[in-house]
Amino acid sequence: MDKQVRVRFAPSPTGALHIGGARTAYFNWLFARQQQGVFVLRIDDTDRARSTEESYRQILDSFRWLGIDWDEGPDCGGPYGPYRQSERTEIYRNHLQRLIAEGKVYPCFCSAEQLQADREEAAREGRPSRYSGRCRDLSAEERERRLAAGEPHVYRLRTDATGETVVHDLIRGDVVFQNSEIDDFIVWKADDSPTYHFASCVDDLAMRISHVIRAEEHLSNTPRHVTLFEAFGSEAPAFAHVPMILAPDRSKLSKRHGATSVSEYREMGILPEALVNYLLLLGFSPGDDREIVDRETAIEVFSLDRVAKHAAVYDVKKLEWLNAHYFRAQSPDVVVGQIWDELVRFGYVAANEVDRHVLAWIRTVVEFVQTRSRNAADLIDGMRPYFEGITAYDDKGVRKQFSDPATPERLRAVAQRLAGVAPFTAPVIESSFRALIDELGLKAGQLIHPVRLALTGVTVGPGLFDVIAMLGREEACQRLEIAAERIASGTVATK
């Protein structure tokens, strides 16, 4: 490319970062990184009534969590700042004055009531609603007189209603708009502030933005933006409009379909690696059948010509599958760190735990349960049997392992044997346990499997003798006695 690639994402701090916005930002970021370009984070906070500092901080935090970093922005600055639109009013005003001086904009004094009457008349006559041009050709004297009198007004851009505007979209190809559909639109509001369109174009111009990659809902605005760039005597950036994200029923994605913001997914236990992988696949094809695409690979394969033209359909099952992959691929030590506060909260471990045996046991349980978990919540739920009393047992396991009438007595025999084991370590426990198997004339599985189910409520898990050692003598014996009593009395609850 002839000039440096500079892209931007400009969220409004009026709420949490939506996954649609996060995907658009990720596509911008990937394009910038692949092209050795610059990714600019710009904050569109001109809506003073709805913009909040809390939302601003939450948006930045969501990007950091996703691993989407920026080269220029409100917190780190850059050569074309400031990067918050609320701090750029003088820049916008200077650009407006330039257009006024060149006669490319004019003040419009039409009241809201007049404009509404115009719209109603157009509707009655079956015409498209567009500005009538009532104030377009006022004499200079009348304009100056009304301005001097302080009459409320906006500024409109003079547009040419003839011909057509062709937008060369890098995803959709050429999109043609009839100029007759573009009226003299407002660029400066009556409250002495710029419109979204004006501020956005001025910022893109001033910040040397080369490519505007944004949601397709902005496609209809593009001819206005092209017209504004022409008014400034500048070439418009290249445009690329990414497809919408639809719900499974192909309606607009909303909260009724589940989580829609990055912060909600984070709270659900979705990993950032899984979420950006999923966002990539929403409307983009890597060029083969692969579905696991990490950031480094995504940078290599990303191309705007592989972004789909049609809407992407949200699939929570795919996201959960991806999350399970990334969750299980983490080292157990990393996972322990992720869930440590929850382990402390549930009382499974002390906040300042230093006992290496306890820490090793936690890692052992995590390593085992992790392979069967989709996320941290699943993992902690799967760890409960090793740290809490058993209230229910695996249904299939109960039918298979607790059906023998001799099981209660065998469990009590194990409890009695454990009561005398010393030292209470896994090797000594195993030796005593296997001796009991021989004494009872059983096969190993006939005792090991019922004991595991009685102790943990499940049929699979870490090594049984490690489990017994970490539960401790008193807890292990108590669980065996409770299970024996429940089996004998027919009160075994299943899950």
Query: Residues 255, 396, 400, 443: which is the catalytic one?
Result: 255
252 is annotated as an active-site residue: no
Distance in angstroms (rounded) separating the CA atoms of residues 169 and 240: 5
Ligand-binding annotation for 135, yes or no, is yes
Instruction: Provide the β-strand partners of residue 154.
Output: 108
Q: 478 with 419: CB under 8 angstroms?
A: no
Judged by DSSP in three states, 111 sits in: coil
| Helix ranges restricted to H, 177-251 | 196-206, 222-231
- For residues 432 and 417, what is the distance between their CA atoms, to the nearest angstrom? 7
- 409's tokens: 């007595």
Sequence-ordered list of residues with C-beta below 8 angstroms from that of 390, at least 6 positions apart, any chain: 454, 455, 456, 457, 479, 482, 483
| Strand partners for 242 | 215
Among 206, 195, 230, 209, residue whose Cα is nearest residue 102:
230
CA distance 108 to 153: 5
* Distance in angstroms (rounded) separating the CA atoms of residues 457 and 53: 48
Token digits of residue 152: 């409320």
Please say whether the dihedral angle defined by the alpha carbons of residues 139, 140, 145 and 149, taken in this order, is positive or negative: positive
In whole angstroms, give the CA distance from residue 492 to residue 238.
68
Handedness of CA 226, 232, 233, 238 (dihedral sign): negative
User: Is the Cα dihedral 479, 480, 486, 490 positive or negative?
Assistant: positive
Q: How far apart are CA 328 and CA 325, in angstroms?
A: 5
Q: What angle do CA 266, 271, 275 make, to 5 degrees?
A: 85
- Largest separation between any pair of C-alpha atoms in the chain: 114
Residues in the chain, overall count: 495
Class of residue 241 by CB neighbours under 10 A (exposed 0-12, middle 13-18, buried 19+):
buried
Q: Which of 135, 159, 158, 157 is nearest to 147 (CA)?
A: 135
C-alpha of 109 from chain center:
44
Residue 466 labeled ligand binder:
no
Q: Which residues sit opposite 70 in a β-bridge?
A: none
The response to whether 255 counts as a known ligand-binding position is: yes
Residues belonging to the binding site for ATP are 255
Residues belonging to the binding site are 108, 110, 135, 137, 255
Residues serving a catalytic function are: 255
Residues belonging to the binding site for Zn(2+) are 108, 110, 135, 137
